[in-house]
Chain A
Amino acid sequence: MADMTKQAGKAGAAGQREPILQVRNLVKHFPLTQGLILKKQVGAVKAVDGISFDLYQGETLGIVGESGCGKSTVAKLLMTLETATSGEVFYKGQDITKLSGRALKAVRRNIQMVFQDPYTSLNPRMTVGDIIGEPFEIHPEVAPKGDRRKRVQELLDVVGLNPEYVNRYPHQFSGGQRQRIGIARGLALNPEIIICDEPVSALDVSVQAQVINLMERLQDEFNLSYVFIAHDLSIVRHISDRVGVMYLGKMAEIGTDAQIYEHPTHPYTQALLSAVPVPDPEAREGRERIILTGDVPSPANPPSGCRFRTRCWKAEDKCAEEVPLLAVPKVFEGKDTPAAHESACHFAEVKQVVGAA
């Protein structure tokens, strides 16, 4: 408990508000078994291995990282669609990883999700009206029966679709329209938190902007808090107030978007940012691209110490022996610079990465 208050105090930069969601040492290991009948556990895929962060009311927390770093598992854990191996997720002080039955159903009203693929996230045999109206059938206390159809049409209008479309089927819509339907379904129960698992990465670039703008407008209108998971750094910067960078099941660096994008101190973040395409040819010439060698190690057998050391140009013996903690690096402690944000690196230092848009 004392640890929690300390954490909250540390995040003072994000405002004096109380966090709406607190994630503490969240761990998810998927067991690897061998044998047909007698299942013997031979190891575990450490998809998420000790992640902590806070989410405040009305803010957007971006989570970025490569494919397979555990971003989507974090989303499923926050939605309690997967059971956490250990760790806690506090929603308004209540640990939702331990909830079940009616209490869990009540929490689910307040935490909803928008999915990545608009083609598989809508039931092809239900009309749009039934899809958006289903939340009301599951939680009948939210809207009285006679009111539901009107509520569904309102929701369609809110997400910028014609309310007359209630009787159409998902296959009659484009990808962007389908994603709007998915967002409307997520909004139906008036949730406080929406977990967005790569909500625009399956859409055309021109449509991405529309959906992102819609999500920003809805955030202002309904005071929503977003956990926005993506691999597109530019989009995350555009929508996020704070950004967390994940690598192989651990949080490498977390801070406000300006801190992360302009003053990254973790080598992995620096490498990621150096790969962002720069539209200005002149700025592009002057910049240094950090090209990482090798592949992401297997999460079933992650490297000792710092997870990133196998691909890091700064790695020393210390990195293999000691796990760097996610904290404000010693060199920046107490200093009033944008570099003073949490970074899990023994040798954290500012490196200017030019032109990260």
Chain B
Amino acid sequence: MTELAKSAKGPDAATATTAAAANNTAEPAPARITQWGEIRHRFMANKLAVVGLVLVTLLFIVAAAAPLIATHDPYAQNLANTLQEPSGDHWFGTDALGRDQFSRIIYGSRIAVIVGLASIFLACVIGCILGALSGYFGKAVDSVIMRIADIFFAFPLLIGAIVIILVMGRGVLPVIVSLAVFSWATVARLLRSSILSVREMDYVTAAKALGASTTRIITRHIMPNSIAAVMSYVSFSVGTAVVAEASLSFLGIGVSPEVPEWGNMISAGKDSLGVSDFLWVYPSSAIVLTVLGFVFVGDGLRDALDPKLR
């Protein structure tokens, strides 16, 4: 009997409402403003963020088109032409082995981009998976994952990286791995705490009350609302990874010294401090501009992704 009442109610309700809705639904709804469109708009309204975006884009272009931009072979030594001041031929001068500084800085951006992006991508994959598991399931899973994260969090990055590089040998890959291993814990923590606060929201309860599956709750409700914190952190930490990678090379445990890389160049330049300052000023500026670019983008992303700041 109740079933009957229910089925009778359905169409009844529909007709009652269609009549009222008809005059309103006649005109089409205005174009859909997508979430991304709105985020882009807010990002572009932020001047610093745009400056950051320009710097970062420039870095990517330089890294991709390095052979076209470089004026010389970055490896070519010319012992008759060492420690030259910047000139028309060598824009940023030459180093102690007569290599063209400008070309080496241009090629150096490749290492910065590869190491920065790859290490943080890796850290994000590990951190997001573990952080999401920890935040969503809580209890024992949470305790175990967070204690492991604490260990990596507490370990000094440079010392940890030295250990990994000693085991794996020098090169780009060990640098990427060691930076990722000591960065994922922050991503995991950020995502976890964000999920912990989001999953208590009433809209998650509402989805559960509707009978939504766990997958749906995670992908439609929890993730879109907790990932913002991670996304802006990612941009910051690419900058940090570039610095960390340069530090490793500066200390002589990063990529091999003959490779054009900013840390290597600063390291070489420190020997002629006060004499040939152009040797370290240019690569340092490259690092500073890169880091600033990523920090500005991170700042802009954080503000643009926060729906409360609209």
Contact = CB atoms under 8 A, between A and B. Distances in A.
Contacts of B156: none
A45 interface: no
A298 interface: no
A222 B13 CA distance: 7
Interface string B194-224: 0000000111011111111100100011001
B41 interface: no
Interface in A202-261: 221-223
Nearest to A121: B202
Interface in A104-158: 104-105, 108-110, 112-113, 115-117, 120-127, 131, 134-135, 138-139, 150, 153-155, 157-158
Interface residues of B, number: 42
A190 B221 CA distance: 23
A167 interface: yes
A171 interface: yes
Nearest to A192: B6
B10 interface: yes
A138 B212 contact: yes
A185 interface: yes
A159 B225 CA distance: 27
A122 B211 contact: no
Interface stretch (B21-29, B112-120, B246-254): B21-29
Given A122-B203, A124-B225, A167 B211 contact: no
Nearest to A105: B211
Contacts of B167: none
A20 B5 CA distance: 12
Contact of B201 (A112, A120, A182): A120
Interface stretch (B30-38, B183-191, B286-294): B30-38
B127 to A, nearest CB: 21
Contacts of B203: 120-123, 131
B221 A158 contact: no
A110 B6 CA distance: 10
Contacts, number: 115
A139 B5 CA distance: 20
Contacts of A115: 202, 205-206
Contacts of A167: 29-33
Contact of A166 (B29, B38, B210): B29
A81 B208 contact: yes
A134 B202 contact: no
A20 B211 CA distance: 20
Contacts of A150: 21, 25
Contacts of A164: 24, 27, 29-30
A154 B9 contact: no
A12 B202 CA distance: 37
A347 interface: no
Contact of A221 (B13, B18, B29, B216): B13
Instruction: Give the most central of A20, A122, A126, A154: most B CB within 10 Å.
Output: A154
A120 B307 contact: no
Nearest to A163: B24
A123 B213 CA distance: 16
A79 interface: yes
19 contacts: A20-B2, A108-B210, A120-B202, A124-B307, A125-B224, A125-B225, A126-B220, A131-B203, A134-B220, A154-B18, A155-B17, A157-B24, A158-B20, A162-B24, A167-B29, A167-B32, A167-B33, A182-B206, A185-B206
Given A124-B307, A138-B210, A163-B25, 15 more contacts: A109-B211, A117-B202, A122-B203, A123-B221, A134-B207, A135-B210, A138-B213, A157-B17, A157-B21, A162-B24, A163-B24, A166-B29, A167-B29, A190-B6, A192-B6
